[in-house]
Amino acid sequence: MINQEERNVKIAVEQLDFFYGQTHALNSISLDIKENEVFALIGPSGCGKSTFLRTLNRMNDLIPKTRVKGSVQIGGQDIYDPDVDVVQLRKSIGMVFQKPNPFPISIFDNVSYGPRAHGLKNKKELMGIVEESLRQAALWDEVKDRLNDNAMSLSGGQQQRLCIARVAAIKPEVILMDEPTSALDPGSTTKVEALINELKQNYTVVIVTHNMEQAARISDKTAFFLNGYVVETDETNQLFTNPKEKQTKDYITGKFG
Amino acid sequence: MKFQKERNNKSNIEEGIVKKVLFVMALTAITSLGLIAFFIFNEGMPFMIDYGIADFIFGTEWDPSNQVYGIFPMIVGSVIATLLAILIGAPIGIAVAVYLVEIAPPKVARIIRPAITLMEGIPSVIIGLFGMVVMLDVIRRLARGPLSEYLPAGYQTGYSVLAGAIILAIMILPTIISISADSIRAVPNEYKEAALALGSSKWQTIYKVVVPAAKSGVLAAVILGVGRAIGETMAIIMVVGNTVQIPEAGWEGIFAPVRTLTGNIALEMGYAGPEHRQALFATGIILFIFIIIINSITLVLRKKED
Ligand SMILES: Nc1ncnc2c1ncn2[C@@H]1O[C@H](COP(=O)(O)OP(=O)(O)OP(=O)(O)O)[C@@H](O)[C@H]1O
Ligand SMILES: [Mg+2]
């Protein structure tokens, strides 16, 4: 019999190793990430958080001379299986980057980029998706009268929310976020955090953050990375108030990092 | 005062001299441009005004022995050859640039890149030779063979605006490739990552994100190509036939031998009498104006980009 625990696992990572040429960036990572969960990755700079995140949508494939070992299952399917179509995979795994990176085209075209690339042509349907996604990203009211303006004319915080809308528009199952608020002012950060809270209704969210308060505020579970290893994974409350490992404790109390 | 200027310090004097020398050199460049312009206008302008600017530009007959100087056929020849060259060269050049930057394995790119640089350095007379031997033959076979029933006899020699355009296309390819490759390379990686992460294929990413993001540079490359094509002389004289005529409208026209502005000057300067000579300088003025217009477009585009 499958119990509740197992059935909800969305992303199952087992014994994952990752190499940049000779650099062994990830060491035997095993993690389970559940559906509709916000899962935070914390750890000092260079410990492998981004690398791990990018193994989940195979963005690391773009970097030459990299190697993966072990397995990553998403929705029960091994994404490193040779039969997997990476383009299809990325349609169901959205990604928000550290630096807001809208395309230098109109706001409308940014949000509709994904659905269009996936073959949707109907203007009305596209408009519907654009509005829905911008509402989800809490940006609709600010931009509804200027959808044809270039996305570069938005503020940094708005650009990042636009990038989130752009991801929402492809209706992914999982959203990966790599320090999505590190380039934003406090006001925009608050908005994006509120947004993440909303997003977990519909998506599984994996988020890298340097900001431990942020991890504590928004995530259900947290994994602490160090030098390419996962030191500890636990309920966020638990990990921050009662860490099992000494290294975790040292990190969250600011002894290093 | 600790930081007071030393008036007669040796290095200060040296610096002053170097500055002046460089300034004079810069001045030389500008002066020679000014001199060339002045010289051409000085020789050609009075004639053009005398003859009538409209008659000169729109006159369709060029017969120096009877003092008839209409350069419209040459303008048409230059414009058609250039446009056709761009039509052929730009898509190929842009495609090669995309391939080079986005698709080619590093090993292949390492071979292609120096080859393109080398191509840029080939003297145009050599490319003209290739055109005369290989291309004229191919076009002649085509014109005398399957197309012979559609083409007038004068269009069947192989010497044609088409041959000229292909030669020009070959000559502007390196420029178009290297400049558009630069601007494609300059497209921030973030755009590509964003597009790929949204589940667009590599090909979609290239034509929907990368090339549009590089479009001002690509356009500048094409316009630079236009400038080069319209000014090219040697190679085009060798293949274009140099007949003063306006090609028939319609596709047959591309098989017509024509003469370009540049060819007109180069071919006749050697034996021209005084008035004829002035008419050739006036031809130079028209060419000069074309080049200035093209360069201004490039400048405007560059400005827009900043
Ligand atoms: N493209 C790359 N090529 C080679 N090595 C890389 C590359 N990207 C990352 N690394 C190395 O892999 C290790 C993990 O890097 P990663 O970017 O995943 O760290 P991170 O935890 O995200 O750090 P930060 O918090 O600074 O973003 C580092 O040692 C880094 O130098
Ligand atoms: Mg990182």
DSSP labels for A189-227?
HHHHHHHHHHHTTTSEEEEE-S-HHHHHHH-SEEEEEET
Which residues in chain B have Cβ-Cβ distances shorter than 8 Å to A91? 198-199
Neighbours of A21 (CB within 10 A): 11
pLDDT digits (tens, 9 = 90+) for A211-249: 888 999 999 999 999 999 999 999 999 999 998 999 999
CATH architecture of A9-252: 3-Layer(aba) Sandwich (3.40)
Q: What is the mean pLDDT of residues A52-68?
A: 93
**Cβ–ligand 1 contact at A50 (below 6 Å):** yes
Q: CA-to-CA distance for A184 and A181, rounded, in angstroms?
A: 5
Q: How far is CA B190 from CA A151, A185, B202, in A?
A: 15, 21, 14
User: Residue A64 pLDDT more than 70?
Assistant: yes
What phi, psi does B298 have (nearest 5°)? -60, -45
pLDDT reported for residue B263: 92
Q: How far is CA B50 from CA A154, B54, B55, B68, B220, in A?
A: 59, 11, 10, 13, 38
Partners of residue A232 on adjacent β-strands: A224
Confidence of residue A4 (pLDDT cuts 50, 70, 90): very low
Q: Which residues contact A224 (CB under 8 A, 6 or more apart)?
A: A42, A43, A230, A231, A232, A233, A239, A243, A245, A247, A248, A251, A252
Task: Supply the angle between the helices B274-305 and B215-231 in degrees, to the nearest 10.
Answer: 170
The residue with tokens 């250039």 is: B82
Tell whether B237 and B137 lie within a shared domain: yes
For a pocket test of ligand 1, which of A18, A42, A51 has the largest count of ligand atoms closer than 8 A to its C-beta? A51
Interface touch B193/A97, C-beta < 8 Å: yes
CA nearest neighbour of A89 among A102, A100, A80: A80
Ligand 1 mean position to B125 CA, how many Å? 53
The helix (run of H) or strand (run of E) holding residue B137 is helix B136-144
Question: What is the pLDDT of chain A when averaged over all its residues?
Answer: 90
Length of chain B: 306
Confidence of residue A1 (pLDDT cuts 50, 70, 90): very low
pLDDT reported for residue B300: 84
Confidence of residue A12 (pLDDT cuts 50, 70, 90): very high
The helix (run of H) or strand (run of E) holding residue B140 is helix B136-144
Phi-psi region of A105 (alpha: psi -120 to 50; beta: other; left: phi over 0): beta
Closest ligand 1 atom to residue A43 Cα is: 21
Tell whether B31 and B145 lie within a shared domain: no
Tell whether B66 and B30 lie within a shared domain: no
Tell whether B223 and B86 lie within a shared domain: yes
Q: What is the mean pLDDT of residues A102-109?
A: 93
What residue ranges do the domains of chain A occupy? 9-252
DSSP labels for B253-300?
GGGS-B--HHHHHHHHGGG--HHHHHHHHHHHHHHHHHHHHHHHHHHH
Tell whether B161 and B285 lie within a shared domain: yes
Interface touch B190/A104, C-beta < 8 Å: no
Tell whether B21 and B75 lie within a shared domain: no
DSSP 8-state code for residue A152: G
* Of residues B191, B193, B199, nearest to A118 (C-beta): B199
User: Residue A206 pLDDT more than 50?
Assistant: yes
Regarding predicted confidence, which is higher, A7 or B302?
B302
Tell whether B121 and B203 lie within a shared domain: yes
Q: Mean pLDDT, consecutive 10-residue segments, chain B of 306 residues?
A: 68 85 90 91 92 92 91 94 95 94 90 90 92 92 87 88 94 93 92 94 92 89 90 91 88 91 92 90 93 87 70
* Of residues A101, A118, A170, nearest to B190 (C-beta): A101
Tell whether B109 and B200 lie within a shared domain: yes
**Cβ–ligand 1 contact at A181 (below 6 Å):** no
pLDDT digits (tens, 9 = 90+) for A25-36: 999 999 999 998
By residue range, what is the domain housing residue B242?
59-305
Query: How high is the ipTM of this complex?
Result: 0.90
Q: Virtual CA dihedral for B118, B123, B128, B133, nearest 10 degrees?
A: -60
Q: pTM for this one?
A: 0.81
Do residues A219 and A207 make contact, with C-beta atoms less than 8 angstroms apart? yes
Tell whether B63 and B32 lie within a shared domain: no
Six-digit token string for A253: 């109390």
Tell whether B174 and B257 lie within a shared domain: yes
DSSP labels for B144-176?
HTTTTTTS-GGG-SS-SHHHHHHHHHHHHHHHH
pLDDT reported for residue A3: 44
Six-digit token string for B45: 């302008």
pLDDT reported for residue A126: 94
Which residues in chain A have Cβ-Cβ distances shorter than 8 Å to B196? 59, 62, 90
Cβ of residue B243 closer than 8 Å to a chain A Cβ: no
CA nearest neighbour of A69 among A16, A3, A109, A108: A16
Do residues A181 and A208 make contact, with C-beta atoms less than 8 angstroms apart? no
User: Residue A7 pLDDT more than 70?
Assistant: no
CATH number at residue B277: 1.10.3720.10
Strands (DSSP E) found in chain B: 62-63, 68-69
pLDDT digits (tens, 9 = 90+) for A127-169: 999 999 999 888 899 999 999 999 999 998 899 999 999 999 9
Identify from B191, B193, B198 which residue to disrupt to test chain A contact, counting A C-beta atoms within 10 A and taking the largest count. B198
pLDDT reported for residue B14: 84
Question: Domain tally for chain B?
Answer: 2
pLDDT reported for residue B302: 73
CA nearest neighbour of A104 among B180, B181, B222, B188: B188
The residue with tokens 């996305």 is: A151
Tell whether B71 and B139 lie within a shared domain: yes
Cβ of residue B198 closer than 8 Å to a chain A Cβ: yes
Tell whether B5 and B141 lie within a shared domain: no
Partners of residue A174 on adjacent β-strands: A93, A204
**Cβ–ligand 1 contact at A53 (below 6 Å):** no
Interface touch A62/B193, C-beta < 8 Å: yes
* Of residues B194, B197, B204, nearest to A103 (C-beta): B194
Six-digit token string for A111: 């949000």
Name the closest-CA residue to atom 14, ligand 1.
A48
Q: Strand A221-226 relative to strand A38-42: parallel, antiparallel, unpaired?
A: parallel
CA distance B180 to chain A (A): 18
Ligand 1 mean position to B116 CA, how many Å? 36
CA angle B121, B126, B129 (to 5 degrees): 155
Strands (DSSP E) found in A77-141: 77-78, 93-96
For a pocket test of ligand 1, which of A19, A23, A61 has the largest count of ligand atoms closer than 8 A to its C-beta? A23
User: Residue A120 pLDDT more than 80?
Assistant: yes
For a pocket test of ligand 1, which of A27, A29, A47, A227 has the largest count of ligand atoms closer than 8 A to its C-beta? A47
Interface touch A57/B191, C-beta < 8 Å: no
What phi, psi does A26 have (nearest 5°)? -130, 140
Q: CA-to-CA distance for A223 and A16, rounded, in angstroms?
A: 15
Q: Which residues contact B276 (CB under 8 A, 6 or more apart)?
A: B64, B69, B268
